[in-house]
Amino acid sequence: MVDDKIRGMGFATQCCHAGQACDPLTGAHNTPIYQTTTYAFRDVDHGAKLFSDAFTPEIGLTDGYIYTRFGNPTQNALEEKVAVLEKGEAALAFSSGMAAISSVFLLIVKPGDHILADNSLYGTARDFLIQIMQKFGAIVSFTDFSEIENVEKSIRNETKVLYFESPTNPKLKCVDIRAVVKVARNKNIKVVVDNTFMTPYFQNPLVLGADVVVHSATKYMTGHGDSISGIAIGSRLFINELRCLVHNNMGGVISPFNAWLVLRGLKTLPVRMRMHQQNAMTVAEFLKSHPAVSSVNYPGLPEHPQHDIIKSQASGFGGVLSFELKGGYDAGKKLMNSVKLCTLAVSLGDVDTLIEHPASTTHAVVPREERIAAGLTDGLVRLSVGIEDVEDIISDLKQGLEE
């Protein structure tokens, strides 16, 4: 079901129906995987019009398809669904979260522009800004976005983007999205938010005033750990520019099969997210009361420093938490080596529980001093709490902490 009607419906209905209608040709109830690279034009003029439309961002492709790097019906179904879920005008799917993030920066930023980013980003996103954006002449700096004065103080005349995750990976720090939007207002600065941890089920940054939302759809959106994928959501003009100026030239397209996997995953997003959150809260309480644990980072706990902020801008707290053991790195290592149900692996948002050590894996690219300054200590353990029976997750952690 497409646009106007579905936008007035509830979130769970949108997850099932938005962007997807029975196939007009065959009646197929499920969106087919359009496993094709190219599309027949009706005639030469039709081909010419499609190319002209595709390269005119004010128009975009509406009258057919050209070549799957420019768009594909399975991919477009996913884009329409996510645009509705994130309450944006349009969306563009990518081969990974990093393809989405890098493409958004490549569209917005030119040499000499300043990017101000939070000091606690997924390691590769931070590394992309330093290794690639700086190499092409952008100025990149980092500050702690949870203190809004830091953002105000760090803005320069050349600032073009404010970029952050909320909550952050893996410290679960939350940023006041409305306050950042206020700082950017009337300054021709785009606010770009990575909403991977919350998903549109819990938080809609565009409604809070952000310009662009990015996701690693690899995580909760797909939900089953079987597709690397990403998506960006924003105004129709921004997304059309992203498609024709960056996506088409860089080529980070999602495959039709992976788009279909994300579409399938999204149908159960609300039930999964409710269960992830319920289990994460129970596990957070268990860890908090365990004598071997020194601290727990979960924004659903009332003592979390930004508990009130997340409550003011999101309808939930998500399914990821991180914690420190009193025995530091050695104790964390022992725990991660002894779990039997939880899998020791990177990634998050899968239906089953994943445990990992950020300092030596996902955030190893961040120089140690900066990592520590951002609270990502050597002893920090990250847990993506799955939707198994929570008693089984807890008993696995318990035996790992006791061994």
Is residue 346 part of the contact set for ligand LCS (CB under 6 A)?
yes
Q: What would the two tokens of residue 186 be?
A: 């009337």
Residues contacting residue 328 through CB under 8 Å, at least 6 positions apart: 378, 379
Question: Minimal CB distance to ligand LCS: which residue?
Answer: 97
Which of 270, 318 has the CB closer to ligand LCS? 318
One-letter amino acid for residue 357 of the chain: H
Is the CB of residue 194 less than 8 Å from the CB of residue 214? yes
Is residue 98 part of the contact set for ligand LCS (CB under 6 A)?
yes
Select the span of 72-80, 151-159, 294-302, 345-353 touching ligand LCS (CB under 6 A). 345-353
Select the span of 51-59, 90-98, 239-247, 303-311 touching ligand LCS (CB under 6 A). 90-98
Select the span of 129-137, 176-184, 343-351, 386-394 touching ligand LCS (CB under 6 A). 343-351
Q: What is the smallest separation between the CB atom of 168 and ligand LCS, expressed in angstroms?
A: 8
Which of 53, 297 has the CB closer to ligand LCS? 297
329 tagged catalytic: no
**Rounded Cα distance, 262 and 77, in Å:** 10
Residues 298-327 as x/- pattern, contact with ligand LCS by CB under 6 A: ------------------------------
Is residue 231 part of the contact set for ligand LCS (CB under 6 A)?
no
Question: What radius of gyration, in Å, describes the C-alpha atoms of the chain?
Answer: 21
Residue of 49, 69, 264, 333 marked catalytic: 69
Which of 127, 370 has the CB closer to ligand LCS? 127
194 tagged catalytic: yes
Identify residues 360-379 at the interface with ligand LCS (CB under 6 A): 362
Is the bond into 170 cis (omega within 30 degrees of 0)?
yes
Which of 96, 240 has the CB closer to ligand LCS? 96
274 tagged catalytic: no
Is residue 122 part of the contact set for ligand LCS (CB under 6 A)?
yes
Half-sphere exposure of 382 (CA within 13 A, CB side): 28
182 tagged catalytic: no
By CB under 6 A, name the one of 86, 144, 165, 176 that touches ligand LCS: 165
Which of 123, 300 has the CB closer to ligand LCS? 123
Question: Annotated catalytic sites, by residue?
Answer: 69, 122, 194, 219
